[in-house]
């Protein structure tokens, strides 16, 4: 009897321990929208992100990038959105294996200005999509990547 | 030592927040030259920026962000001595956090 009691207690403790070890990882993963970062063409990524919601071109989105990037591993990007009530800014590189680079959800205290450094596999368009209270807006610009100095 | 460096500077009416994180940001597609084996993916997935404890930026990212990620944001309002804090977590469940006062 004494043995089976100990065994039961042991399994109870083991279950608790397993739960403690396993739980934090799925929780940490849960917040990251894995499907958004699938290796797929840009069209498929946009469909995944916005379904078929209309995305209007806008000249109120300024994308500041170098015209020519000597090193595709580090391309500085600064986005400045002059639209009202910007809630989220999406940064995409069309020809990367995974087109979506990052999504920034901004509180209303933030200016719609974001800087980051992105990787570019090859010469490609950089896309910015701004999610505002009034809908989705997009803009894009080309960055020429000259890895190896061959003039890409 | 923390993997995160934060600079928060009052510029007129706004606070400029600059964040530098030391992280490999491996895509999982890079081949190791000697073995021709791909290096395992290791990249930051989420980053949260807080102003006096209130979330101001919630960022999700993939491995398309460069090694040792740099971000800059502009916060309206706020004042000297406010606290800006940053935390990140990556695809291996590692995480780190740091905070800095506005100067």
Residues spanned by the domain of B58: 4-27+40-101
Tokens of B87: 């935390």
Say whether both A20 and A85 belong to one domain.
Answer: no
Query: CA B39 → CA A33, A147, B22, B25, B62, distances in Å?
Result: 23, 21, 18, 11, 16
**What is the count of structural domains for chain A?**
2
pTM of the model: 0.85
Q: Is residue B33 part of a domain?
A: no
Query: Do the chains contact at B70 and A107, CB–CB below 8 Å?
Result: no
B97, part of any domain? yes
Examine the domain organization and report whether A47 and A104 are in the same domain. yes
Same domain, A144 and A113: yes
Domain membership of residue B35 (yes or no) is no
- Is residue B58 assigned to a domain? yes
Mind listing the pLDDT tens digit for each residue in B11-57?
999 999 999 999 999 999 888 888 888 899 999 999 999 999 999 99
Does one domain contain both A78 and A135?
Answer: yes
Q: Please report the pLDDT score of residue A5 as a whole number.
A: 66
Q: A115 touching B, CB under 8 A?
A: yes
Smallest CA-to-CA distance from A83 within A136, A140, A33, A19 is with A136
Q: Which chain B residue has the Cα nearest residue A77?
A: B71
Mean pLDDT of chain A: 87
pLDDT at A20: 63
- List the one residue out of B56, B58, B99 whose CA is nearest residue B78: B56
Residue A96 has pLDDT above 80, yes or no: yes
Same domain for A75 and A15: no
Residue B65 and residue A118: Cβ atoms within 8 Å? yes
Question: Which CATH number belongs to the domain containing residue A85 in this structure?
Answer: 2.60.40.2470
A70 and A2 within one domain: no
Nearest CA in chain A to B72: A115
Number of domains in chain B: 1
User: Phi and psi at residue B23, in whole multiples of 5°?
Assistant: -160, 140
Co-location of A21 and A47 in the same domain: no
Q: Which of A54-58, A67-71, B85-89 is predicted with the least confidence, judged by mean pLDDT?
A: A67-71
Q: What is the CATH number of the domain that holds B74?
A: 2.60.40.10
Longest dimension (CA), chain B: 54
My answer on whether A68 and A93 are in the same domain is: yes
Q: Enumerate the residues of chain A whose CB falls inside 8 A of the CB of residue B29.
A: 97
Say what the pLDDT of residue B30 is: 85
SS3 A50: helix
In a domain, B68, yes or no: yes
Which residue bears the tokens 């840009």? A42
> Which candidate from A33, A78, A102 shows the least CB-CB separation from B65?
A102
CA atoms within 13 A on the CB side of A129: 22
Verify that A127 and A94 share a domain, yes or no.
Answer: yes
Domain ranges, residue A48 = 35-149
Q: Give the model confidence (pLDDT) of A33-45 as tens digits.
A: 999 999 999 999 9
């Amino acid at each position: 009897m004494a043995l089976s009691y100990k065994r039961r207690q042991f399994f109870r403790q083991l279950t608790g321990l397993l739960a403690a070890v396993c739980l934090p990882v799925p929780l940490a993963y849960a917040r990251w929208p894995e499907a958004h970062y699938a290796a797929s063409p840009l069209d498929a990524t946009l469909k995944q992100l916005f379904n078929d919601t209309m995305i209007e071109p806008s000249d109120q989105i300024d994308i500041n990038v170098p015209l020519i990037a000597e090193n595709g591993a580090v391309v500085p990007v600064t986005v400045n959105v002059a639209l009202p009530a910007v809630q989220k800014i999406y940064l995409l590189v069309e020809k990367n294996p995974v087109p979506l680079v990052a999504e920034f959800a901004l509180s209303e205290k933030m200016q719609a200005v974001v800087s980051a450094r992105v990787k570019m596999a090859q010469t490609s368009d950089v896309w910015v999509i701004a999610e505002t209270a009034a809908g989705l807006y997009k803009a894009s610009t080309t960055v020429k990547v000259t890895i190896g100095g061959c003039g890409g | 030592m923390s993997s995160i460096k934060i600079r928060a500077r009052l510029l007129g009416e706004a606070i400029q927040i600059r964040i530098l994180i030391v992280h490999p940001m491996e895509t999982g597609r890079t081949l190791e030259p000697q073995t021709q084996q791909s290096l395992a993916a290791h990249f930051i997935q989420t980053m949260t920026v807080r102003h006096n404890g209130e979330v101001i930026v919630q960022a999700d990212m993939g491995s398309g962000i460069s090694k040792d990620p740099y971000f800059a944001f502009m916060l309206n309002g706020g004042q000297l001595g406010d606290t800006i804090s940053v935390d990140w977590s990556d695809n291996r469940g590692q995480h780190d956090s740091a905070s800095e006062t506005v100067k």
